[in-house]
Amino acid sequence: MVGKTILAAHAIVEALKNTRHPYRQALDTVFEGRVRVLDIANFAMIRPHDIRDNACVVVGTIQTLRVSNTEDRKVYAHNENMEPHFSAIPASTAGLERRDGSTDKTGDPRFSFANLMHIHRPLMIVDEAHNAVTGLSREMQARVNPCAIIEFTATPRFDSNILYSVTAQELKEAEMIKLPIILAEHDSWQNAVNGAIASRAALEEATKGEADYIRPIVLFQAQPKNGEVTVEALKTHLVEVEQIAPERIAVATGDQRELDGINLFDPKCPIE
């Protein structure tokens, strides 16, 4: 799913910026062409008149916002370029992070993108929402202060307020599933891992005749710490049994962020 998310992030930003794309045309129809689309990395480009006159769509990953320590994330940092947004905002506005890191009403607020969102209460749309239910996610939501959260997930939580549900068969009949889905049953998790590695190798061999660079990547979803196939057990199996070099493996969990700063589109990247 990591690869899928990366592809989706790139695709949706480009699609929404393209005024001829159906995604963008749908927004333009509703908002009469008054639409501004940005990658979250370029939040400093937003001006007060953009928010006043347009529907602003900011695309990013939840990992950009979901951190316990906000000091090392640009979206939470004080940015002088954001000052025009705060010129008419009372310094005592509740809920804003202060420059000293506190959230009381004394002290000057940070001119940060997070504080800007807190003031304007954006509509938050979350993909893979079942991964965004931790205490840290709730803390992040308190900082962003959304007016509402629309979640998309294939595995809703038992207490979810489901507004609309669609089955896989309905998606197939509507021709919304474009990629082939091939399922194979295995009698053990070890054999499933081995089969996935073999499939990745076969796909890599098939890409050698392509003009454009293609990197097949296999994703293994480990079990929680109280399960049998934990992250540690799975990585040990990959290294010791499957003979996969450690530098070809990246672990992405709530605590381990080994994909942060990694460009998977770089042909020199060793991660498989």
Query: What tens digit of pLDDT does each residue of 18-35 get?
Result: 999 988 999 999 999 999
What gap in Å lies between CA 44 and CA 38, rounded to an integer?
A: 10
Q: What is the residue whose two structure tokens read 């005592």?
A: 92
Helix (H, G, I), strand (E, B) or coil at 31: helix
What gap in Å lies between CA 189 and CA 238, rounded to an integer?
A: 12
Is residue 9 within 8 Å of 259, Cβ to Cβ?
no
Comparing 149 with 49, the larger pLDDT belongs to 49
Is residue 53 within 8 Å of 33, Cβ to Cβ?
no
∠ CA 150-180-194 to the nearest 5 degrees? 100
pLDDT per position as a tens digit, 69-111: 777 789 999 999 999 999 988 888 888 988 887 777 777 899 9
pLDDT of residue 203: 93
Helix (H, G, I), strand (E, B) or coil at 139: helix
pLDDT of residue 132: 66
Is pLDDT at 180 greater than 80 in this prediction?
no
Count CA atoms within 13 Å of residue 51 on its CB side.
Answer: 18
What gap in Å lies between CA 24 and CA 22, rounded to an integer?
A: 5
What gap in Å lies between CA 53 and CA 36, rounded to an integer?
A: 9
DSSP 149-206: EEEE-SS--TT---S----HHHHHHTT---S-------SSHHHHHHHHHHHHHHHHHH
pLDDT of residue 136: 59
